Structure 1
């Protein structure tokens, strides 16, 4: 019955080719008009999963409660010193905040006015005590520099410390660290090498107190263009542009990188956008080459290509009508349709050519081909259609919509292969092949397979059983990040961030109805061995504030007159600076001569550097 229906359609197409051609042309025009007017495609990867899935509902709830965290770009600013990192981040954040053309929101999650004012309180009592003690101990160096913030002031500060060594109130080892650090920086600078000096690191007690961060973060929400293959590209490019204008680069001791869901998604699609033209040309060339080797007739190749293009247009319109909008997965119906359309066209055309080679006319050859292939082609199309139907019962919207469109395309490809293709072949009237289509050199292989068909089938059955037995050894990688290019800039930045325990993106967000329940939930989670840290809204209220404020208050009483002097020394002249450097250099050499070990060597080296600077 199936064969009879196919044969009837082919017969009508053969007898009325012009009518069939005009009908298909009209359908093609309607499809093109509909697709052009209603074409829509989203590159939003979140649209690939059904919003009804539990974790998507939870994700939506979190995004609703914290909209500033969605569609974000995380800007990572690394500096060679804490001062460089902070200054670069502050300047870049300010520029991004004023760039309303590219950004909706810009925030500093680990910096800004709040942390500038309250940041010290987030350390433990021991860390706060250590930090304040280090500053108090550095008071002899801080005072001269605070009243005279110049190279002369630095030299005088060092001279004050050296005087303490000379009169026995301090040891050279106690001030070796600032001498060595200053010598390293000035020595590299004197040799034309990049030199970085940090007062924060200098006054921090090594291994104690609060760590001075060399990394700062900016959270930015760019304005996305979901009609583009890279919706956030303009925002990411704007970040790079602002960083370049501010000279935030390796030459100036700073690096700026962008990662997060927006640049990662853009990066994933960038290679597709870059290579889409080349891929299209290669695919078209491969299709035409395959068709030529299969049928060896330009007219038959033309007929198959026209059939495929017509079917592709109709399938696109039908898909848009069925699902409304294409996504990153459902758009894959295009290569699927082309591949299956080529297969149908080749099977019909090869059988048609074989009938023509035996002397049949074009109409008779097409009807004979339909009679021989009608049932197999229909059954094959039906099997593929049902296979695509298996995509439907899933929460992966991209997959289910691909199943719908590809299934419709399968039916359209079969219908056009038994209507439009025969009509085109009758209209084009390709000549009869001079010899049998195929590769004569492969005939021995065909004969061998025919003779040993049972052995071949048993071999395939055995290999299938072995494959089934090995299935338990298959390991599935559930990490979607491994699907991305590990060498992409955003992916490299993310990989680096995962090794930063304070800023790792490997976190889980949970919503609680109120702050008390959130605090209780965080306490329960923190007790789980697999949880490194649990943070709630209460985590931003520092604990033990009374003890910490007492330590800070005591330090403030001692340090306030030192770092906030009533009188500032007038700026030095070149002569004043030279005199101060020479005097301190001489003092360094005297102290080094009376000392031993690495501290004495460091003092002597700095004395030589001061002499050269003078």
Structure 2
């Protein structure tokens, strides 16, 4: 009785589909007119109301534990979230310092673009207290170095010009310097040579002689590289959420590069995401043109009718617009993942049109009557299309309950789009075919007849069915065995173009644990608890250092202050402000340079070391090169003075302040520094750095897990990457299981034959298993971008099986099915989807390219399973008498 009820329902539904299609045929003009008007209204509504949410954090459920910890941390330290990291380097340390100060001042005057600006080096503070952050032995070495430079500094204090510089060097060379003094002078000569050659080449100075004297007095790091952290005001309702702030920084960066000879680069999550959108946009434009061209070409080859292809494409566009309106009604915005819904819609929506169009083409060529061809096509494929749409929608809806909101929203939009695509193909498509009828061709008017007992008349798939099945068994078993080897690359950085400025700079910083952006943060109840937590973290093998605010209070200050006082006594004649000599003319400076050059040429002292002689000869050669290429004119002299003497008075003032430092306490630390380690409610931040450098996922996971074992409330980019990746993997596994179970239940309800259900699911299951093995074989890792292929293969894999099994159910042999329009439609459907996505494989964007490559691989396997393995298996069942039609 239940079976009879199902049969009656199926017949009733089939009749309803035929009546719907026939009704749209009879009122074709009204249907087309109504659809065009409705679609136009929905298009305007969608364009005006659909927004893009570019915040990557919104891709994951905010209720996830690590998301809640992240929100708690951002609430405590909002100035550390969504930062633009400005990297200034390639000039001298003085130039980098001055550039940072100027840029910080400029950005601070733009409150509409930036909510906060932070200098991690705290230049003003460390210009006064920097020596206290050196170790005692480093201070003694600095004391010894400055003592040797004292006479030179004294001369430069009185005469900060080229005359003073080269007069002092002439005197030093003429007094037969000893071995230690020659080492010192050789270093100066080398630095002067570099500066002169840089001026000739029109490049900034790579270093300066002042750096050789004092070196860096900040706690650690490259003195020529400085950072500035800018927190922009973001607008996530636009594609360029940080376009205004980034554009302003780049404009100011050009000014700094021209003024100070430095290089200004931007990195961090905000610039990288902005660059990625630009890269994706360019890649999508190229892929879009290529894929549309290929899809049209394939459809024309398969359908052999421009009007039929045109009707199919117009129907596809209508369904796409309806789906966009559905997205506005249900969600209101698209994220990076759900933005791929149009592509998925094209891949699956065109499949409905191909199945209906090719069945109509087959019937029309046989009958030559449009009305009857449409009725037969609707009767023959309407049920299969509906079942495929429901199965595909279930595959997409399976992501709704997962924690990956990016997939959940994609599932809702694409799942709803399947029903809209089905409705468009059953209404608008036949109406278009009625208004723009196609011509009849000389194709075969009926399905070819093949005898299952005559192997010579069978298609090759059926002739060689047993070798095919015997071969697929070990292949499938091997693929199943390879499943545990599958790895998911959860690091979004690997999906981005490494040639962009943001990513390349980020990767460069990752090479040094001291500058690595992969930092973990922990919140402690107070500073005392934070210090205790930092001490425990320091014991971990994966931790390089753990910083709290207390770490910025120098140790052994009494000992260091004593050394600094001794240094100040020795340098007192230099540090005492004096009235400089009258500034020389260009002629006097030129004479001083020439006198020094003659000193180098005249000296032939056997006591000179090889290094000193070599440096002197190189400097002489640089002078000659300068005179020959630039010339000793006033403009060149002015530029040379700027390069060699530069801001010596300001540098001397900095040295004076360093020598007058007082002890540092928590209270005397800069307020900006305090705000970055102490929250307003008294909680303290622990900043944890990894011992690992580079971009290895395994090491990143070890670092995150190691810190989490000490404090499970750890947060930061390493934790977010690891935990977010795990959430996405769990979501994919959960959704895949739910999709397969839901589709299985649906097929059991509709087909009511376990054998046919298994045959429908077989192409899907085999495709997924073989995809794993093929991805391992071709080194195509699953990642956050190409995982979008999962719902597509679920939808298409089930649809392919449904089309073939239901066509077989019509009472024809498998040989006839293989040679029918159904198999051809499956082939061209897969080919068009390959073309649609395969063009992405040529993109320069690694994530987009990986998506295209994996989809082509997956769809190739789906075709293999649907058009080779499944017919071979059904053919064997048919020969053995184990298949019953009807």
Which residue, 230, 236, 242 being the options, matches 1:226? Answer: 236
Contact 1:109 / 1:219 at 8 angstroms: preserved in 2? yes
In 1, are the aligned partners of 2:366 and 2:444 still within 8 Å (CA)? no
* Paired residues for 1:119-130 under 5 Å: 119-130=130-141
**CA separation of 1:171/1:589 partners in 2, compared to 1, >3 Å: closer, same or farther?**
farther
Equivalent position SS for 2:86: strand
In the alignment, the residues of structure 1 paired with residue 554 and residue 570 of structure 2 have an alpha-carbon distance, to the nearest angstrom, of: 24
Q: CA deviation at 1:98?
A: 3.3
Aligned mates of 1:344, 1:578 — CA distance in 2:
84
Give how far 1:112 is off: 2.6
Q: CA offsets per residue over residues 145-199 of structure 1, 9 Å max, x none?
A: 1121111211343355457657x8x864354344533553466369667555513
Match of 2:414 among 406, 415, 420: 406
Q: Secondary structure at the match of 2:488?
A: coil
Structure 1 position 149 matched with structure 2 position 160:
yes
Q: Note the residue ranges of structure 2 that are not aligned, 5 or more in a row.
A: 1-8, 449-455, 633-886
**1:202-217 paired onto structure 2 within 5 Å:** 202-204=212-214, 213-217=223-227
**Distance change (3 Å), C-alpha of 1:424 and 1:186:** closer
Q: Choose 293-302 or 334-343, whichever is displaced more.
A: 293-302
CA-to-aligned-CA distance 1:320-353 (integer Å, 9 cap, x gap):
2222211111021111112222111111111112
Match of 1:535 among 533, 547, 552: 547
Of residues 259, 282, 288, the one that matches 1:280 is: 288
Distance verdict in 2 for CA 1:3–1:198, change over 3 Å: farther
Does the CA contact (< 8 Å) of 1:592 and 1:600 recur in 2?
no
Residue matched to 1:92: 103
For residue 501 of structure 2, the aligned residue among 484, 489, 509 is 489
Aligned-partner Cα distance in 2 for 1:185–1:32: 63
* Deviation, structure 1 residue 388: 1.1
User: CA separation in 1, counterparts of 2:477 and 2:544?
Assistant: 45
For residues 530 and 559 of structure 1, the distance between their equivalents in structure 2, rounded to whole angstroms, comes to: 44
CA contact (8 A) 2:186 2:612 kept: no
Q: Among 179, 182, 190, which residue is 1:181 paired with?
A: 190
User: How far does residue 537 in structure 1 lie from its aligned partner after superposition?
Assistant: 1.7
More deviation, 20-29/67-76? 20-29
SS of 1:419 mapped into structure 2: helix
The alpha-carbon distance between structure 1 residues 201 and 452, as it changes in their structure 2 partners (threshold 3 A), is same
Give per-residue Cα distances to partners, 1:546-599, cap 9 Å, x unaligned: 222222223223323313333322222456445655665566667752523225
What SS does the corresponding residue of 2:147 show, helix, strand or coil?
A: helix
RCO higher in 1 or 2 (8 Å CA, sep ≥ 6)? 1
Taking a change above 3 Å as real, the CA distance of residues 208 and 180 of structure 1, as seen in their structure-2 partners, is: farther
1:158 aligned to which of 144, 160, 169: 169
Q: Tell me what 1:435 maps to.
A: 443
Which runs of 5 or more residues in structure 1 are unaligned? none
Change (3 A) 1:594 1:588: farther
Partner of 2:74: 63
Counting matched residue pairs gives 607
Q: Which residue of 2 aligns with 1:320?
A: 328
2:268 to 260, 264, 280: 260
Q: What SS does the aligned partner of 2:544 have?
A: coil
1:387 aligns with 2:417: no
Aligned 8 A contact 2:17 2:382 in 1:
no
Deviation by residue 1:65-101 (Cα, 9 ceiling, x = unmatched): 2222222211111134222322333333333333456
SS of the residue 1:431 aligns to: coil
Conserved in 2, the CA contact under 8 Å of 1:357 and 1:433?
yes
- Which residue of the other structure, out of 223, 245, 253, is the alignment partner of 2:255? 245
Distance 2:68 2:270 in 1: 20
Q: Tell me which residue corresponds to 2:22.
A: 14
Structure 1 Cα separation of the partners of residues 257 and 240 of structure 2: 26
TM score, norm. by length of structure 2: 0.63
Match of 1:106 among 117, 137, 158: 117
- Structure 2 Cα separation of the partners of residues 12 and 324 of structure 1: 31
1:409 is displaced (CA, Å) by: 0.8
Task: Give me the TM-score of the superposition, normalised by structure 1.
Answer: 0.88
In structure 2, what is the equivalent of residue 514 of structure 1?
526
Instruction: State how far apart, in whole Å, the 1-side matches of 2:457 and 2:582 are.
Output: 98
Q: Check the 8 A contact 1:300/1:425 in 2, yes or no.
A: yes
Call closer, same or farther: CA 1:197–1:98 in 2, change over 3 Å: same
Decide whether aligned partners of structure 1 residues 126 and 248 sit closer, same or farther in structure 2, where only a CA change above 3 A counts.
Answer: farther
**C-alpha displacement of 1:309:** 1.9
Q: Distance in 2 between matches of 1:427 and 1:589?
A: 96
SS at match of 1:120: helix
Counterparts in 2 of 1:344 and 1:485: CA distance versus 1, 3 Å: same
Q: How big is each residue's C-alpha offset from its partner over 1:472-491, in whole Å with a ceiling of 9 and x where there is no partner?
A: 33333332211111111211
Pairing 1:46–2:64 present: no
- Show the counterpart of 2:881: none
Contact 1:522/1:536 (CA < 8 Å) preserved in 2? yes
CA RMSD, Structure 1 to Structure 2 (Å):
3.4
